[in-house]
Structure 1
Amino acid sequence: MGDFVRENALVVLIAACEIGFWVLLGAGLLARYVLRLKRTSAVLLLLVPVLDLVLVTASIVDVAGGTRPGRTHGLAAVYLGVTIAFGHSMIRWADVRMAHRFADGPAPVKPPKFGPAKVAHEWREWRKMLVAAVIAVVVVAVIAVVAGLGVPAPAAWLSDPFWAWGARVVLATVIWFAVGPLWTTIAPPRDREPSRG
């Protein structure tokens, strides 16, 4: 077990950050709505972004120490981008449900399914993915600079375990754009007419 942790320290840290995100989120919401400790709740929820800072710092320190960037460093960059871009909305999603359940808050509103509201929703969600992709690619570039790597040939973006994460996140963003906001803008879903008896 000790050898695995040593050899895969960054993977273990990513897993710990993911678990830590949900633990801090759950503890923060529990403190706010069940225990009525608003200050404690605020502190716990403010600690969530600290996990991201720990992860990116560990990645940079690792490559600065001579480790060649690999798939784990690329994964850390993508994880960082996704948690920064989507973390706030995930916290808000959980907060609304806890408020409804424990503090007589309003019922959660479902995302729109039709018309201009659906189109606007798709664009908002995709912009989060775009932010995640930009952050991930920037972090990949920073790690590469710290490691002293040059910019690879285009083929390496797909074959190299480290650079492939940048290619994956860009590809995911393009696919999401095509099937999400672009498609709903071109052909917005319409509510079916009520049937007439």
Structure 2
Amino acid sequence: MPNIISVFRSHFPNVDLVFQELLFEESWRRFKDKTIDLNFENFYNLEDVDESHFLKYKMLNQEPLVMVLPTSHPLAHQPQVQLSDIKQENFIIPCHERAPGLHKLIDTACKQAGFHPKVVQEAAWMTTIISLVAGGIGVALLPANVMNLQRTGVVYQNISDNLPMFQTAIVWRKDNPSKILSNFLKVVTEVSRNYSESE
């Protein structure tokens, strides 16, 4: 997302981009009201979007889930961990109302590892979840991009299991005639292609 925004602003400096953080249900309502042009969305939230839907989407990227542990946790400095290693732990997860797709992805990953997470706390924001982990309330599973949020008191551990990935898509209305939207989608394609070639 930062690369897309940076490239778009360099190509179209006179276009003002307005960003809003919206709950999943709110973004759907805003699309129906035609008051937003596009959205960056968890792919798990797009299960009902097909060829007959009023929305379209394009996959942007995927990333693994990582284990978020307090620095004092016995697994914090292990060279390799599996998801089942924390099956007895208390979990802090994103609240369903704010991030239904991520909530479902975490539940699916845990089921695949043979257990159901024992949830002691839900939180709306990634930073809140990380702070609660640092405070020793529990452990968490979050998309790998949270490793950019350096926080004293937590360790991010890669998981050796072959788990489902956190996937991000860009979403827009099929009937939106905006030239600005069209140009933005072209930039998305350009950045995605360049990113793929650099891997």
TM-score (ref. length: structure 2)? 0.32
TM-score (ref. length: structure 1)? 0.32
The structure with the greater share of residues assigned to strand is 2
Larger RCO, structures 1/2 (Cα 8 Å, 6+ apart): 2
